[in-house]
Amino acid sequence: MRDSADSGKTHQSERALRALRSRILSGEFLPDQHISETAAADLLGISRTPMREAMARLVEEGLLSRTETGRCTVRRHTRRDVVDAIEVRGVLEGTLVRIAAERGPEPAAFARCQEIAAEIDAALGTNEAVADFQRYTELNAQFHDTLAALSGSETLEREVLRSYRLPLASPNALLHSHFNVPDVRRSLFRGQEQHKDILAAIASREGARAEAIAREHARLARINLDYVMLDNQDLAEMIPGLSMVTAAESNMRSDRPVQQGRRE
């Protein structure tokens, strides 16, 4: 009976976590807005204890901030915060695939990654005009979730998956339907080539190469972030989660990477 009760509490906590995280990322709760534990629990129809646990998790994830008095507010993020989160994801994924290459990948996860890569090829087709954007985003999430299991290390898998929950750092965070525009669609093909190159490097036990490609792959998200925030700010207003991101124009441009031409 105790196990059943504990399982029910965990389910309620996870439900509260997913629901509140979704509402924050959708922009329903605005930056600096106070979120009352009681009000949030009533809004979502969840008891206060799992809501308290969910809010503590969201503080850890960086979506909420807790004041000295214990009040929780929606954290305001700068573009640099998002860039740093993307870099963290790249470092963790890079470390994971390097170790997978050096130790040998977990067989079932590696085989599944290869299958998903083939499905992505089919979804993309031969050019951006015929690419199935929605299917790509679904498969891309599956690929990265499976990639996290490649090293066979529970510690690395847990930390990589945790990095996906950092604000706008997940592999699909910047692949919203509003991004279905030519420049971003072209970047999908580059990202898919990197998926396959990572798997090839792991298969040939080239750990350093796998790590370098994985880190570069994560930086595609930064390029897409800049494309929207610096070049298409009207588009940025339509993307869930970007309402949390603020930065002065001078700061936004001060650390923008120098690019050689357009994305491939």
Would you state the pLDDT for residue 262?
41
pLDDT value at 22 more than 90: no
From the list 48, 43, 49, 36, the residue with the least C-alpha distance to 19 is: 43
135-148: burial string, b at 16+ Cβ within 10 Å, e else: ebbbbbbbbbbbbb
pLDDT on residue 247: 38
Find the mean pLDDT for residues 105-116.
Answer: 98
Task: Please provide residue 73's backbone torsions phi and psi, each rounded to the nearest 5 degrees.
Answer: -130, 155
| pLDDT for residue 223 | 86
The answer to whether the CB of 151 falls within 8 A of the CB of 103 is yes
CB crowding 90-100: b at 16 or more within 10 Å, else e: bbbbbbbbbbb
* Model pLDDT, residue 212: 98
Both tokens of 121, joined, read 């090829």
How many Å separate Cα 152 from the centre of its chain? 21
Residue-by-residue DSSP string for the chain: -HHHHHHHHHHHHHHHHHHHHHHHHTTSS-TT-EE-HHHHHHHHT--HHHHHHHHHHHHHHTSEEE-TTS-EEEPPB-HHHHHHHHHHHHHHHHHHHHHHHHH---HHHHHHHHHHHHHHHHHHTTSTTT--HHHHHHHHHHHHHHHTTTT--HHHHHHHHHHTTSTTTSTTTT--GGG-SHHHHHHHHHHHHHHHHHHHHHHTT-HHHHHHHHHHHHHHHHHHHHHHHTT-HHHHTTSTTGGGB---HHHHHHTPPP-SSS--
Confidence of residue 242 (pLDDT cuts 50, 70, 90): confident
Stretch 3-10: mean pLDDT: 53
pLDDT value at residue 21 = 86
pLDDT digits (tens, 9 = 90+) for 142-198: 999 999 999 999 999 999 999 988 878 889 887 766 566 677 778 889 999 999 999
Chain-centroid distance of CA 45 in Å reads 27
Residue 207 has pLDDT above 80, yes or no: yes
The whole-number pLDDT of residue 119 equals 97
- Alpha-carbon distance of 15 to 54, in angstroms, equals 9
Q: Which domains does the chain have, with CATH numbers?
A: 11-76 (1.10.10.10), 78-246 (1.20.120.530)
Token pair recorded at residue 31:
């930056």
pLDDT of residue 156: 96
pLDDT score at 236 = 67
- pLDDT reading at 27 higher than 60: yes
